[in-house]
């Protein structure tokens, strides 16, 4: 059953936070780099110690700055991205998901979904690594079957990432 929705500025910010959420692979990689940096800072030669400490301070500063910049940039992008202000229609099909708005109409087939993510508010479908469609879970109140969408994504694309 097709459902209609609009993406508010706050929805867009929350979706961008979900998009930016680190994956387990990223967290393990960051932890490994941090352990190497700590080892170098404690037991490395003087030049390596300075570099390791500088790297740790810089890495932590970038991570902390992202908590401020992600919402700020998302709000800025939302205001400039006029098409996101339109009303969207989404429909779950056997072979994919159909999206429509006043300016576009298209189908995203399962084979073209690179990955997907979800939280309590949204399902994000990625046809490319950094481009995603936002599907608010609140459209279940209109009869859209979110559980069937997630089941089909798991079957055709794999686990959420």
Task: State the alpha helices, DSSP H only, in the chain.
Answer: 9-20, 24-43, 46-80, 146-156
Q: In tens digits, what is the pLDDT along the chain, a chain of 161 residues?
A: 899 999 999 999 999 999 999 999 999 999 999 999 999 999 999 999 999 999 999 999 998 998 889 999 999 999 999 999 999 999 999 999 999 999 999 999 999 999 999 999 999 999 999 999 999 999 999 999 999 999 999 999 999 99
Rounded to whole angstroms, how far apart are CA atoms 47 and 44? 8
pLDDT reported for residue 1? 84
Q: Coil, helix or strand for 161?
A: coil
Relative to beta strand 87-93, strand 131-136 is unpaired
How many CB atoms lie under 10 A from the CB of residue 48?
A: 14
Q: For 3-7+85-156, CATH number?
A: 2.30.29
């Amino acid at each position: 059953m097709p459902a209609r929705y609009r993406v508010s500025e706050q929805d867009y910010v929350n979706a961008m936070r979900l998009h930016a959420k680190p994956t387990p692979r990223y967290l393990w990689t960051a932890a490994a780099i941090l352990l190497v940096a700590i080892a170098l800072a404690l037991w490395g030669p003087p030049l390596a110690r300075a570099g390791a400490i500088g790297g740790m301070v810089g890495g932590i500063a970038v991570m902390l700055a992202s908590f401020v910049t992600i919402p700020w940039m998302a709000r800025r992008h939302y205001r400039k991205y006029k098409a996101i202000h339109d009303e969207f229609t989404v429909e779950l099909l056997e072979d994919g998901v159909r999206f429509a708005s006043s300016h576009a109409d298209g189908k995203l087939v399962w084979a073209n979904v690179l990955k997907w993510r979800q939280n309590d508010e949204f399902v994000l479908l990625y046809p490319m690594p950094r481009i995603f469609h936002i599907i608010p879970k609140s459209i279940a109140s209109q009869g859209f079957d979110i559980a069937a969408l997630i089941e089909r994504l798991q079957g055709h694309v794999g686990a959420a990432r």
